Amino acid sequence: MSFTVHAPSFEGLRCTDINLTVSKPCVRVDNGTLSNHEARKVVVMSSNLIPKRNLQQGSFVRKKKLDEPPVQKLKFVRTLLIDNYDSYTYNIYQELSVVNGVPPVVVRNDEWTIKDLYHYLYKERAFDNVVISPGPGSPACSSDIGICLQLLLECWDIPILGVCLGHQALGLVHGAKVVHASEPIHGRLSEIEHNGCRLFHDVPSGQNSGFKVVRYHSLVIDANSLPNELIPIAWTTSTDALSLLGTHDLDIMPDSSEDSCPSRSQFSLSDRVGGKVLMGIRHSTRPHYGLQFHPESVATCYGRQIFKNFREITETYWQRLKPTFANQRVFQYAAHMQVPNANQLMKEASGSLQVTHNGNDQLSKEAFKNGQLVHDAVNKSSLGMSNTLDLSHPNIGTKYLKLKWKKFDGLASKVGGASNIFYSLFGHHKAENTFWLDSSSTEKERARFSFMGGKGGSLWKHVTYRLTDERDLTLRGGGYMTIEDAEGSTTKTFLEEGFLDFLKRELLLFRYDKKDYEGLPFDFLGGYIGYIGYNLKVECGVVSNRHKSRTPDACFFFADNLLAIDHCNGDVYIMSLHEGGSASSWLEDTKQKLLTIETPIKRDTDEQTLKTPRSVSSEGGFLCDKSREDYVKDIEKCMEYIRNGESYELCLTNQLRKKIGDIDALGLYLHLREKNPAPYAAWLNFSRENLSICCSSPERFLRLDKSGILEAKPIKGTIARGTTQEEDERLKRQLQFSEKDQAENLMIVDLLRNDLGRVCDPGSVYVPHLMEVESYSTVHTMVSTIRGKKRSDVTAVDCVRAAFPGGSMTGAPKLRSMELLDSIESSSRGIYSGSIGFFSYNQTFDLNIVIRTIVLHENEASIGAGGAIVALSNSEDEYEEMILKTRAPTKAVMEFI
């Protein structure tokens, strides 16, 4: 039996102007050129309010018969998820993967034409419903909304759910007005009441019901402008917004059968935000729904239930349309689909999704087992997953690595600790070409291991990468890589595909025996160690960099000889990595040096390292790239972008610089780590580049361990320590209950959930710790933890590419925010805002966020600092917070020189 969907006509669209009462709906950056998002393909939009076809024709809408059999549930539901270049799309992706039984296909809003939509929705019958993601900008700007308006207008017989921007688009395409909200609401919550429609089945309603949702929006649909065909289904319960409180007790775990939600006591009323706001609409005759709030947010209650309800709406719709549809669609699912720009199809194993099938439904089982799912063409392209090396021929470029190691129980405390070990073994000759990933603050299990080393054995090399000068229009991306080997020979090559692809290929070539490192309690066993500069964002989805970095865009050593120190019990490990043959004599030589270290270390009295620091009260002597007045003006620009819906949060930064001449860089680092210990601190010296990095970062960007668990620990929210214990505790509580800081943190938590969701198994991303306050020598900070299980088909570098730069340094949505920040900031961030860490040869990695860091390059010290600008920001307070974050590193420099 055949089944035909009567698709609406796509010919003869009348294009009329769509007016939106919002100033500057499409953004231009300060240099007078179109911003990157405006340069995307502009699609034809139609404002026809009612299609010419009678909706009652074709039996798409009909009354339920009394004797109609109950709706048979589908084994899986196939969703097309349209991404409006948002940073929360993959949170929706994760939810739909769990609810639907298979992951949705993600397509960006300018990737398909209307003909593509017609082909896949009607000819291939490849999807059961469509979800339109949130996104920056306005639905009236073609470069912001892409194909979505045409989709909503023409595909009247396909179930569609629009979230935030998608909700506004649903209103706009039918004639409603989209206007500025009385106040932008980002990362804040509201209690919701609804009319009990099917989208809110089993969801409570009204004040004190427990139905609280997260909002990220500056624009809203004017409820008074709704046409008759759009029905309001949800709205805020009162004129008050809510904030998330008491989060230090909140654990949000994955895959619970019920929707997890903070308890009622963890919220309190906040400032008034005007009248009740429309939070949901549906079309009176079409299966189209819109939600202004974000059901996918970690702090939204009943979000998964709403997605379940949309699945059930979809099932009911298709079953009542054609009772035999369920059996017909099984074969359609097994058919091959080819998404534009995707080089290959990705197979999704049923076991990885934990989808349970009816044992008697053999047809459905076979379809699920054999069906090939198109899985996120954009994701595959941006992660480089289609470029995986063919390693079927093991002799082509592969490297067989062997690891030898020795352990010395409790040795660190016997020889004066990590600093004495490093100085004794690697402190000579100005510590040239040395590294030290330094967990100098280990309380509360923030970090446990430190790794150190210098120029090593035959596998050692120094890799330097610089992006091309993008003003040279003859070059298209890529950059120049210089490699110095252990013998001192150098080679220079041009990498058209970029540094991250190079690093990915290098790591994929390694072969090793896991037995070599059995018994080692840490993940770094040798491999690449160094930094990725902020400008490498162009290899992670950003179109271009406006500012060129003064320092290399990436610098790494390949470390084949190294030490590890376990700060939990003082154990010291020495490791030597080699390719075939026998291990070098480095292990025995290092053993003898370790056992003869004197404690305390005796140094010459004229060494600058022992010089008594002088007292300094401020950051005096450093000059800011932006003055206080200019920085405050930049904050106002950011807030204007936020008011117009272009961003939810912008992490604005500044650079402080000082000429320093010749300086004992290692001595400065030892002084910094003493004054401002941090769990993700680092020392790097690249002598060829005249570059030393003294980092006291408290923030982890991303880690992948041997069990395949990804972890991010973003910091958002900072306040100074008090001068007395009473004042210190008061300031800590002030940070913990700050609505602004909670909103900042929540936005970045949702962003990192999104980034991990791109590369993690469906349903595995969770938040074990939300908004915990951690204390350091000069500041209290608000920290969250996000974890997920890495998918088996992605590599370590794929994970980094999906999340770099860290969202705590960009804002959200990430791509649009970085574009706007490039137009505001006057210089490259360089190493600041990038990441320092390692990529082990066994595909594990651990990277920090480069903050609280002194970069010494060509006789200049530079320190970056900034803060998240949100709708609740105060310009003067934001400036003071930026200066606060420079206090520890600037004071260390001024005391030392």
Give the residue numbers marked as catalytic: 164, 294, 296
If one counts every other C-beta atom within 10 angstroms of the C-beta of residue 75, the result is 21
Residue 475, CB-side half-sphere exposure with 13 Å CA sphere: 16
What is the DSSP track for 297-311? Answer: STT-TTHHHHHHHHH
Q: Are strands 267-272 and 278-283 parallel, antiparallel or unpaired?
A: unpaired
Joined tokens for residue 870: 């949100």
Nearest 5°: CA angle at 497, between 496 and 500? Answer: 130
The answer to whether 559 and 435 are in contact (CB under 8 A) is yes
SS3 sequence of 845-897: EEEECCCCEEEEECCEEEEEEEEEECCCCCHHHHHHHHHHHHHHHHHHHHHHC
Nearest CA-CA partner of 318 in 130, 6, 71 = 71
Q: Are strands 129-132 and 79-83 parallel, antiparallel or unpaired?
A: parallel
Joined tokens for residue 440: 């100098």
Nearest CA-CA partner of 892 in 692, 677, 627 = 677
Give CA–CA dist 763/95, Å, rounded: 7
- Residue 673, helix vs strand vs coil: helix
Give CA–CA dist 606/592, Å, rounded: 28
The answer to whether 452 and 424 are in contact (CB under 8 A) is no
- Residue 81, helix vs strand vs coil: strand
Give CA–CA dist 651/638, Å, rounded: 9
Residue 672, CB-side half-sphere exposure with 13 Å CA sphere: 30
- The residue written with tokens 């397509």 in the block is 107
In sequence order, what are the residues at sequence separation of 6 or more whose Cβ sits closer than 8 angstroms to the Cβ of residue 56?
none
- Residue 217, helix vs strand vs coil: strand
- Residue 149, helix vs strand vs coil: helix
- Chain centroid to Cα 367, Å, comes to 34
Q: Return the bridge partners of 576, or none.
A: 404, 561
Torsion of CA 809, 505, 554, 831, to 10 degrees: 10
The answer to whether 778 and 676 are in contact (CB under 8 A) is yes
Q: Where are the beta strands (DSSP E) in 326-471?
A: 399-408, 435-438, 449-453, 461-467
Q: Return the bridge partners of 214, or none.
A: 189, 294
In the DSSP assignment, the letter for residue 72 is P
What is the DSSP track for 714-748? Answer: -EEEEEEPPSSHHHHHHHHHHHHT-HHHHHHHHHH
Nearest CA-CA partner of 437 in 43, 846, 5, 889 = 846
